[in-house]
A and B are shown apart, each in its own frame.
Chain A
Amino acid sequence: MYSFEPTEEQQMLVEAVRKFAVKDLREAAREADEFGELPKPLIDKGWELGIVQSSIPEPYGGFGSRSAVTNVLAAEELAYGDLSATMAILAPGLFALPILIAGSEPQKQTLLPRFCAGGYVSATAALIEPRIDFDPNALTVKARDDGDGWVLDGEKCYVPFAAEAEHVLVYAALDGKTQGFVVNPGAPGLTIGEREKNMGLRALPTREITLSNCKVACADRLGGEGGHDFTPLLNASRVALGALAVGVSRAAYEYALTYAKERTAFGEAIAQRQSIAFMLAEMATEIEAARLMVWEAAWLLDQGRDATREAYLAHTTTSDVALMCADRAVQILGGHGYIRDHPVEMWLRNARGFPMFEGLAIV
């Protein structure tokens, strides 16, 4: 059957996350962006919503099972509040979820319970590489077999919390296939670079890391000796980014709509002009369509079916929609949209990154 109605449980989660996003994340977003720092209590409070933990089943210390659909519903709401903080709150999932989805049994038993012990545990993943033709399926960071383990070489960038993380899941090409490796940030051969300065996501601490003859134990290949299939992980990342992009789109659209009803020009609200009203109608239409693409791709993930096409199309479409909505929000606010008193310029900076945020979120 077709159904477009979240379960009651999902609706309750959405309500709780929305409240947090509107009250806490939105309030803190501007200052976090200006100073490049997220307040620790904010991240802790976000972590307590239990989004990552509830994906982890009981045998590994958690209290649920992974539902990509539930996770995209929550992710959209978080991103509606603030994208940097959302990525920070969900960052431990960059490590934990791939372990859950593709890890070996010993890896799950050893690594997952830590995430369910209570407080926020900093962990991360390194996928993106600093080059214009970056392709997650054709990495330049290479892994080679040196007889009693793996050796990693190359450069990564946009690694959230690289300096704080207990574990990094480093993706590298092994025989032309992308494979994950569990690396300790203190490992010899791993150098953590300076904090990156980017156009958007300014509050999220990301760094480059350099791997030079970095040794990884045999058992620390994701999935164990036989490795894993990277496709479900990439698909889950694209679906997650889709949900975040919808959240940012909706934030921009709603802000612009409220502004357009309040702002008057030529004796009436600017929203009473078709040039503004039609932009808003199109934004709402695109957001609704984009959201359904994300839901469908997430549903496919939950069914254990191949979601490559849907996840890819959802990611590209939502990226376009987010950019369009953020840009139009700036346009509708006019000169005020360009001023940092309003959040829309920040959303435009954040939205522009979605096509390249691959690997920065996962559901």
Chain B
Amino acid sequence: MIEFEMPQPIAQRRELLQQAAEGMMRAQARYYDEHEHETPWDYINLTWQAMQAMGGGSFRSSTAGGKEDKPDRPRIGNQMLIHTIEMLSWGDAGLYLCTPGSALGGAAIEAVGTPEQKEKFLKRFAGEAPTWACMAMTEPHAGSDTAAIRTRAVRDNDHWVLNGTKIFVTGGHKSLVDSNGFVVVWATIDPSAGRAGMRPFAVEAGTPGMTITKLEKKLGIRASDTAMIVFEDCRLPAENLLGSAEVVKDDKGQGFRGAMATFDATRPSVAASALGIARATVEFVKEMLAAQGLAIPYGVPRTKLTAVQRDVLDMEAQVHAAWLLTLKAAWLMDQKKPNTLEASMCKIKAGEVVTKVTQKGVELLGPLGYSRKLLVEKWMRDAKINDLFEGTGQINRLVVARRLLGYTSKELK
């Protein structure tokens, strides 16, 4: 039955997060925007404690009532997660990205790891100290074209030896320097095999041969660190390979599918973060306009609206449309149904919406919008990342179009 009632546990969680988002995140947002590369420990410690109190490891919870999967209760873990991310990003998207936990690296292990690997790598997220994991895919010469990565993994008896350079690793510093976490590194075990040769490897903090050589300076989300990591004869135990060591040339990229499965799970999260920023912007613009005596009415024909009213209503409608897509993508995951199409759709829509809505927000507030006294200009800078990372809007359009048309990546390039 079609329903849109927010489950009680989610409503409660949102109420709780609203306080933290308002009281702490909004208050600290500007500071960490202007002090790039400082680690926001207040936010980190608070969220880590909150997560440990909720059962540890992440903000996810599998069922309506508790941590465990229980067959008699509907699963809402992913719905809970996107609501949480939306709310935290409404507070501040840069700080949200500093949230400790298994994040993308953990998602890769969840997607393709063995039970032993899950035990070895994921247990650390139940400990005392805030811990992170991250994922390294992009290289200086290869972004969207992931099949072109050159980082090489060579087998040497009981070890794999990694060589290569990774860039744009979100949370690399927190995972490898600020905590005893790990990075999931994509490398090729057979350069002649293309995608079929690609494999993810988990590399733990402190592994010799792995160095962070640069922290990027960015347009926005400055509270979040973005690292360059160099691997020089970096030796890993054989069991740190996630998935099979065997390369089957015509399997159309089984190893690569691991990455894709990760994206199915995380694209709705990116969309949710985008939409937290977008909602913050719409709400703030409406408040500012209301203070000027300009109300935004529902139900008046468009022909009778002012241009500003129409802009704001369109912003609001677009944010809501994108949110419903995101919610559906998360719901499908909770239903254990495939969501590749919906995950990419919500990412396309949310990435575009947040970009436009925040840019419009700056415009509508005139000289105030452009000023660093308010957060709107920061939200505009933060917003843009959502149309870039975890698949640019264009890459996600390719994913969606290929599915809809039934085309392979050769048929639709």
Q: Please give, as numbers and ranges, the residues of chain A lying within 8 Å of B3 by CB-CB distance.
A: 1-3, 299
Indicate if the CB atoms of A285 and B345 lie closer than 8 Å: yes
For the complex, give the distance between the alpha carbons of A137 and B298 in Å: 12
Indicate if the CB atoms of B304 and A289 lie closer than 8 Å: no
Q: Is A6 an interface residue (CB 8 A)?
A: yes
Which positions 281-325 of chain B face chain A at CB distance < 8 Å? 298-304, 313-314, 316-318, 320-322, 324-325
Q: Please give, as numbers and ranges, the residues of chain B lying within 8 Å of A278 by CB-CB distance.
A: 394, 397, 401
Q: Which of A257, A292, A298, A300 contacts B324 (CB 8 A)?
A: A292
Q: Please give, as numbers and ranges, the residues of chain B lying within 8 Å of A2 by CB-CB distance.
A: 3-7, 76, 79, 327, 331
Indicate if the CB atoms of B348 and A282 lie closer than 8 Å: yes
Q: Is A40 an interface residue (CB 8 A)?
A: no
Q: Please give, as numbers and ranges, the residues of chain A lying within 8 Å of B394 by CB-CB distance.
A: 278
- Which of B33-41, B170-178, B237-245, B403-411 forms contacts with chain A? B403-411
Q: Please give, as numbers and ranges, the residues of chain A lying within 8 Å of B328 by CB-CB distance.
A: 4, 288, 292
Q: Is B74 an interface residue (CB 8 A)?
A: yes
Q: Is B16 an interface residue (CB 8 A)?
A: no
From residue B347, how far is it (CB to closest CB) to chain A in Å? 10
For the complex, give the distance between the alpha carbons of A234 and B401 in Å: 37
Task: Closest B residue to A9 by CB, please name it.
Answer: B1
Q: Is A281 an interface residue (CB 8 A)?
A: yes
Q: Is B199 an interface residue (CB 8 A)?
A: no
Q: Please give, as numbers and ranges, the residues of chain B lying within 8 Å of A308 by CB-CB distance.
A: 298-299
From residue A282, how far is it (CB to closest CB) to chain B in Å? 7
Q: Please give, as numbers and ranges, the residues of chain A lying within 8 Å of B411 by CB-CB distance.
A: 272
From residue B270, how far is it (CB to closest CB) to chain A in Å? 15
For chain A, which range describes its interface: under 10, 10 to 19, 20 to 34, or 35 or more residues? 35 or more
For the complex, give the distance between the alpha carbons of A299 and B4 in Å: 7
Q: Please give, as numbers and ranges, the residues of chain A lying within 8 Å of B79 by CB-CB distance.
A: 2
From residue A263, how far is it (CB to closest CB) to chain B in Å? 13
Q: Mark A270-312, 1 if CB is under 8 A from B, else 0.
A: 0110100110111011101110110110111000000011001
Total count of chain B residues near the partner, CB < 8 A = 48
For the complex, give the distance between the alpha carbons of A137 and B404 in Å: 42
Q: Given A2-B331, A280-B401, A289-B324, do A316 and B302 touch, yes or no (CB 8 Å)?
A: yes
Q: Please give, as numbers and ranges, the residues of chain B lying within 8 Å of A10 by CB-CB distance.
A: 2
Indicate if the CB atoms of B299 and A69 lie closer than 8 Å: no
Indicate if the CB atoms of B320 and A293 lie closer than 8 Å: yes
Indicate if the CB atoms of B325 and A300 lie closer than 8 Å: no
Which positions 32-62 of chain A face chain B at CB distance < 8 Å? none
Indicate if the CB atoms of B2 and A282 lie closer than 8 Å: no
Q: Is B365 an interface residue (CB 8 A)?
A: no
Indicate if the CB atoms of B407 and A271 lie closer than 8 Å: yes
Q: Please give, as numbers and ranges, the residues of chain A lying within 8 Å of B154 by CB-CB distance.
A: none
Q: Is A7 an interface residue (CB 8 A)?
A: yes
For the complex, give the distance between the alpha carbons of A134 and B5 in Å: 35
Q: Given A1-B74, A300-B4, A317-B317, do A261 and B345 touch, yes or no (CB 8 Å)?
A: no
- The secondary-structure label for the interface of chain B is helix
For the complex, give the distance between the alpha carbons of A135 and B302 in Å: 10
Q: Mark B68-99, 1 if CB is under 8 A from A, else 0.
A: 00000010100100000000000000000000
Q: Mark B339-369, 1 if CB is under 8 A from A, else 0.
A: 0001001001100000000000000000000
For the complex, give the distance between the alpha carbons of A19 and B413 in Å: 35
For the complex, give the distance between the alpha carbons of A234 and B299 in Å: 9
From residue A190, how far is it (CB to closest CB) to chain B in Å? 26
From residue A137, how far is it (CB to closest CB) to chain B in Å? 7
Q: Please give, as numbers and ranges, the residues of chain B lying within 8 Å of A257 by CB-CB distance.
A: 404-405
Highest count of chain A CB atoms <10 Å: which of B2, B314, B398: B2
Highest count of chain A CB atoms <10 Å: which of B299, B328, B398, B411: B299
Q: Is B234 an interface residue (CB 8 A)?
A: no
Indicate if the CB atoms of A299 and B2 lie closer than 8 Å: yes
Q: Is B50 an interface residue (CB 8 A)?
A: no
Q: Is B24 an interface residue (CB 8 A)?
A: no
Q: Which of A133, A282, A293 contacts B321 (CB 8 A)?
A: A293
Q: Is B400 an interface residue (CB 8 A)?
A: yes
Highest count of chain B CB atoms <10 Å: which of A4, A7, A281: A281
Q: Which residues of A contact B (CB under 8 A)?
A: 1-7, 10, 69, 132-137, 234, 257, 260-261, 271-272, 274, 277-278, 280-282, 284-286, 288-290, 292-293, 295-296, 298-300, 308-309, 312-313, 316-317, 355, 358
7 cross-chain pairs, A with B, having the tightest CB-CB distances, nearest first:
A292-B324, A277-B401, A289-B321, A281-B400, A281-B401, A313-B317, A285-B345
Name 21 A/B residue pairs within 8 A (Cβ), A-sorted: A3-B3, A3-B331, A4-B2, A134-B301, A135-B300, A135-B304, A136-B301, A234-B299, A257-B405, A272-B412, A278-B394, A280-B404, A281-B404, A284-B404, A285-B348, A286-B321, A288-B325, A289-B325, A292-B327, A293-B317, A355-B302
Q: A1-B64, A133-B304, A317-B317 are in contact. List 15 more A-B contacts (CB 8 A).
A: A4-B328, A4-B331, A133-B303, A137-B300, A272-B411, A277-B402, A277-B412, A281-B401, A284-B345, A298-B2, A300-B4, A313-B317, A316-B313, A316-B317, A317-B321
